[in-house]
Amino acid sequence: MTTKAPYDFKWQTEQFADIRILRYYVDGFEKLEYNQKCMIWYLYQAALSGRDIVYDQNYKYNLLIRNVLELVYTHIDHNSHAEEAIRFYQYLKQFWFSNGIHHHYSTEKLSPSFSQKWFEVVLHSIPESQLPDFNSLSKKELIDFLSDQLFNPNVSPKRVEQADGTDLVAGSSCNFYENLTQQEVVDFYQSKINPDPLRPVSWGLNSKLIKENGQIKEVVYKADGRYGKAIRKIVIQLEKAKQYADNDLQKEIITKLITFYESGDLAIFDAYSIDWVKDTDSMVDFVNGFIEVYGDPLGYHGTWQSVVSIRDVESSNRFSQISALAAWFEKHSPIEEKHKRQDAAGVSYKVINTVVEAGDNAPSSPIGVNLPNADWIRSEFGSKSVSLGNIEEAYEMASKTNGSLEAFFLPDQQKRIKAFGALASKLHTGLHEVIGHGSGQLMAGVGTPKETLQSYSNTIEEARADLVALYFIADPKLIEAGLIDDPETAKAAYDSFMVGGLIRQLVRVEPGKVLEESHMRNRQLIASWVFEKGLEQDIVEKVQLDSKTYLRINDYQALRHLFGILLNEVQRIKSEGDYAAARELVENYGVKIDPLLHQEVLARWKSLGIAPFAGFIQPQLELKRQDGKIVDVSISYPDDFAAQMLYYSRNYSFLPLIND
């Protein structure tokens, strides 16, 4: 691809553990109008003001632990190359990257490679007056508690438990529940009465569920409630941003978001979401709130996140046909007629350049977003889909010469992906977000997916969106619409998806583990199912070359037909709320890993020396004033991950270390 970043722009800054740290370039920022820059400045402040919320949501003691880890960082000799100090630096960066003590992807607790004895010795050397006051513990008791948190494998081993047959709430360490079982949570939310059953409230999205003295209650996130100190800071910045809004609709959107933050009323959040969907003209856009539910094993509670962005006009115009054809895609979908949306209007698609991400979106970032998540809003009012163009660009630019393509793809696949892979990836993202998440409907009387499909709802939803993208990316309509000019683009998409789902993504999993993350389960579920069906008909096969396993697709059109069959079934499962079928599909195809293949894949990847995960240092904005008046906002691109994390902790830590 052709990048607009300076020729010497450094895309990757460092690598540690299983992580690469990247940077992204914000093309077009300098050309923005004065009001747009001012608005972005305050939205940027609002984004960073909520950063600590996700730490606390991920685990009750994360903010306390971060405070102590950063204290240790300031007390050890930074000029020392002692092995223990180097290992501590690595762990601290892993902690920052994961927004807590649990791995950002596997959700298993990070394992320190520095010794417990070294850690305790350093803590004992720090004056007691500098250590945080926690539950009136003595210095020794505090050190013992912290050591247990970091080094005891039996203390909070998983942030999100997804193993079938276990109590997912009791087994998860995320901070959405306290003293509750899975059945108690399910019963509590099923007892909620929706004022309008056709427009169900997203119960639990902005709250924590607690049982005290035998009574279950919700603690709501709002300006005078839980996380209030951070939320009030967000509100202050949103009020300032509103003064520079692009139009009256955007002012109303911000007003409703502020009202939601002040009241905690989810009906107001729905009203805000409806208006947000309608705003397709503003150059500056943002997401700020409790949005995605992947961090909750039952899919009720939203983790806090923010994205501030500007529209990439050129790329948006180029791919606008995707949203324009939404009704055509729905009409020609291979799903049953009764499961199709009757009106697929209101689906918008844009490519954006991200300016800053925070909370659950950072440092690890998605490449596409489709919101709002409420199915009834999507059905009645549509949805807004975006591709994070400069994030996708950074991933691509940083991976151009790392050798992974040659390591996992056959020669003809390599050639095809080099020629068409970038476009195929962008089209897949657009189709996934716009058409995939925006298609289909629930049958009358069927509850929301988190109620009917429970812990499998996220995987089923992602599988549905991917299958829509895979089915339509090979449709001749894309050539007719001018989105592609060569059918090899679809073949490149199929090569990438099948190899990724069956082989390449296994590099992200430790030996002996199963798949638990929803997106990984989704990709393997699809690839494994169509491989099993396609193997019988010689549509697809595994081949051995030099004792290495590769995947070969023999009939791309037949493979597309299989994607369509599976899409029909996955949509049926969601539309009809078929929990048993969802469980069978996910557990049979999306969870288990072939241990021999896994061992081989890990060895192949290790030889490349590439970390399997990547995330970002955020651009930094600076306000320029003259005679007390804002005259400009400048952007720069820091290249020190640790320095940025420490800067954020110094300037944007508004929550207590323990949020009871």
Say which residue the tokens 């994205």 belong to.
Answer: 307
Residue 82: which domain range? 13-156+622-651
Q: For residue 331, count other CB atoms closer than 10 A to its CB.
A: 12
Indicate if 576 and 644 belong to the same structural domain. no
What is the average per-residue pLDDT within 234-256? 97
Indicate if 604 and 631 belong to the same structural domain. no
What is the average per-residue pLDDT within 149-154? 97
Residue 239: inside a domain: no
Residue 71: inside a domain: yes
Residue 219: inside a domain: no
Q: Is the pLDDT of residue 431 over 60?
A: yes
Q: What is the C-alpha separation between 369 and 309, in angstroms, rounded? A: 12
Q: Is the pLDDT of residue 345 over 90?
A: no
Residue 227: inside a domain: no
The pLDDT tens digits of the residues spanning 523-575 come to: 999 999 999 999 999 999 999 999 999 999 999 999 999 999 999 999 999 99
Q: Which of the 8 DSSP states describes residue 299?
A: S
Asked if 196 contacts 376 with a C-beta cutoff of 8 angstroms, the reply is no
pLDDT exceeding 90 applies to what percent of the chain? 88
Residue 178: inside a domain: no
Q: Where are the beta strands (DSSP E) in 251-294?
A: 284-290
pLDDT band at 319 (very low <50, low <70, confident <90, very high): confident
Exposure string (b/e) for 136-148, b if CB count within 10 Å is 16 or more? eeeeeebbebbbe
Q: For residue 557, count other CB atoms closer than 10 A to its CB.
A: 10
Indicate if 591 and 643 belong to the same structural domain. no
Strands of the sheet containing 347-359, edge to edge, are 284-290, 304-311, 347-359, 383-388, 368-371
Indicate if 541 and 628 belong to the same structural domain. no
pLDDT exceeding 70 applies to what percent of the chain? 99
Indicate if 596 and 631 belong to the same structural domain. no
The pLDDT tens digits of the residues spanning 372-404 come to: 999 899 888 988 989 999 999 999 898 877 788
335-349, 448-462, 629-643: lowest mean pLDDT where?
335-349
Per-residue model confidence (pLDDT) at position 87:
96
Least Cα distance to 353 among 29, 1, 5 occurs for: 29
Q: What is the C-alpha separation between 62 and 573, in angstroms, rounded? A: 37
Residue 182: inside a domain: no
pTM, whole model, 2 decimals? 0.91
Tokens found for residue 262: 């002040």
Asked if 601 contacts 503 with a C-beta cutoff of 8 angstroms, the reply is yes
Q: Is the pLDDT of residue 2 over 80?
A: no
Number of domains in the chain: 2
Per-residue model confidence (pLDDT) at position 244:
97
Per-residue model confidence (pLDDT) at position 209:
98
3-state helix, strand, coil in the chain (%, to 5): 50, 15, 35
Indicate if 488 and 637 belong to the same structural domain. no
pLDDT band at 418 (very low <50, low <70, confident <90, very high): very high
Q: What is the C-alpha separation between 396 and 429, in angstroms, rounded? A: 14
pLDDT band at 346 (very low <50, low <70, confident <90, very high): low
Q: What is the C-alpha separation between 306 and 241, in angstroms, rounded? A: 14
Indicate if 447 and 358 belong to the same structural domain. yes
Q: Is the pLDDT of residue 269 over 60?
A: yes
- The residue type found at 491 is K
* Alpha carbon distances (Å) from 142 to 81, 121, 134, 138, 148: 28, 13, 7, 6, 10
Asked if 49 contacts 233 with a C-beta cutoff of 8 angstroms, the reply is yes
Q: Is the pLDDT of residue 196 over 60?
A: yes
What is the average per-residue pLDDT within 252-258? 98
> Rounded mean pLDDT of the chain?
95
Q: Is the pLDDT of residue 606 over 60?
A: yes
Indicate if 387 and 504 belong to the same structural domain. yes
Indicate if 639 and 495 belong to the same structural domain. no
Q: Output the DSSP codes for 543-594.
A: EEETTEEEEEES-HHHHHHHHHHHHHHHHHHHHHT-HHHHHHHHHHHTT---
Tokens found for residue 389: 């163009």
What is the average per-residue pLDDT within 253-261? 98
Indicate if 560 and 642 belong to the same structural domain. no
Q: What is the C-alpha separation between 293 and 302, in angstroms, rounded? A: 5
Indicate if 627 and 601 belong to the same structural domain. no
> For the range 12-16, what are the long-range contacts, defined as Cβ-Cβ under 8 Å and sequence gap of 24 or more?
12/398, 13/617, 13/639, 13/640, 13/641, 14/641, 15/610, 15/611, 16/90, 16/93, 16/94, 16/611
* Alpha carbon distances (Å) from 24 to 293, 368, 436, 563: 26, 15, 27, 34
Q: Is the pLDDT of residue 153 over 70?
A: yes
Asked if 437 contacts 467 with a C-beta cutoff of 8 angstroms, the reply is no
Q: Is the pLDDT of residue 187 over 60?
A: yes
Cα atoms in the Cβ-side hemisphere of radius 13 Å centred on 431 = 27
Residue 416: inside a domain: yes
Q: Is the pLDDT of residue 93 over 90?
A: yes
Per-residue model confidence (pLDDT) at position 355:
98
Q: Is the pLDDT of residue 347 over 90?
A: no
Helix, coil or strand: residue 363 = coil
The pLDDT tens digits of the residues spanning 108-128 come to: 999 999 999 999 999 999 999
pLDDT band at 344 (very low <50, low <70, confident <90, very high): low
Residue 74: inside a domain: yes
The pLDDT tens digits of the residues spanning 438-486 come to: 889 999 999 999 899 999 999 999 999 999 999 999 999 999 999 999 9
Indicate if 631 and 603 belong to the same structural domain. no
Least Cα distance to 32 among 320, 287, 406, 313 occurs for: 313
Per-residue model confidence (pLDDT) at position 403:
83
